[in-house]
């Protein structure tokens, strides 16, 4: 299992009160992968914690997903897993999604676009983290910050 975490108090926001902490846990899914077909599936669970004094709403996401062959997938969209959660101060929102790669190793990174309850936009970066299939184990073993 890989874990990463990062915080954002974005200077691009006009509100110094916007602050979120993003952490990610990943897991290789051998039952949904096929070495023969060059398909490697991973689950990732993201926790977004509001560390600021006012509510924030996650509006959109942007992911860059790279495999070891140099192939890049870019994903943009509204919300996450069908939600645009409102996260109150001190609260967290957690969701699980997945990614498929054409190689047993790769990485993901990205950002969330959020708005504060007083209508200030900001971006929360998601630090790069690795996706790595360990044959036979179904687990990952790296901690990234």
| Residue 135: predicted pLDDT | 62
Residue 96 vs residues 42, 52, 53, 63, 71: alpha-carbon distances, Å: 10, 24, 26, 14, 23
Give the model's pLDDT for residue 71: 97
pLDDT at 6: 56
**Burial class of 95 by CB neighbour count within 10 A (0 to 12, 13 to 18, 19+):** middle
- pLDDT score, position 18: 77
Under DSSP, the state recorded for 31 is G
Regions of the chain where pLDDT drops below 50: 9-14, 16, 137-145
**Adjacent-strand bridge partners of 112:** 61, 124
Distances (CA, A) of 108 to 28, 44, 103, 143: 14, 10, 13, 14
The SS3 call for residue 14 is coil
Q: What pLDDT is attached to residue 143?
A: 35
Residue 125 CB neighbours (<10 A):
15
Q: What are the angstrom distances between the C-alpha of 3 and each of 36, 68, 130? A: 28, 20, 9
> What pLDDT does 142 receive?
38
pLDDT of residue 126: 95
pLDDT digits (tens, 9 = 90+) for 49-78: 999 999 999 999 999 999 999 999 999 999
For residue 137, the model assigns a pLDDT of: 43
**Which residues, 6 or more positions from 36, have their beta carbon under 8 angstroms from its beta carbon?**
none
Single pTM value for the model: 0.82
Q: According to the model, what pLDDT value does residue 134 have? A: 77
């Amino acid at each position: 299992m890989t874990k990463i975490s990062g915080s954002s108090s974005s200077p691009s926001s006009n509100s110094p009160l916007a602050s979120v902490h993003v952490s990610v846990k990943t897991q290789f899914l051998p039952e949904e992968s096929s070495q023969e077909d060059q398909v490697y599936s991973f689950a990732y669970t993201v926790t977004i914690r509001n560390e600021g004094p006012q509510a924030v709403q996650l509006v959109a996401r942007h992911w860059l997903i790279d495999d070891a062959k140099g192939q890049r997938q870019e994903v943009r969209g509204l919300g996450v897993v069908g939600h645009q959660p409102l996260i109150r101060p001190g609260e967290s929102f957690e969701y699980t999604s997945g990614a498929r790669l054409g190689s047993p190793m790769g990485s993901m990174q990205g950002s969330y676009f959020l708005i504060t309850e007083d209508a200030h936009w900001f971006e929360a970066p998601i630090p790069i983290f690795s996706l790595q299939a360990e044959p036979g184990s179904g687990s990952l073993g790296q901690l990234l910050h």
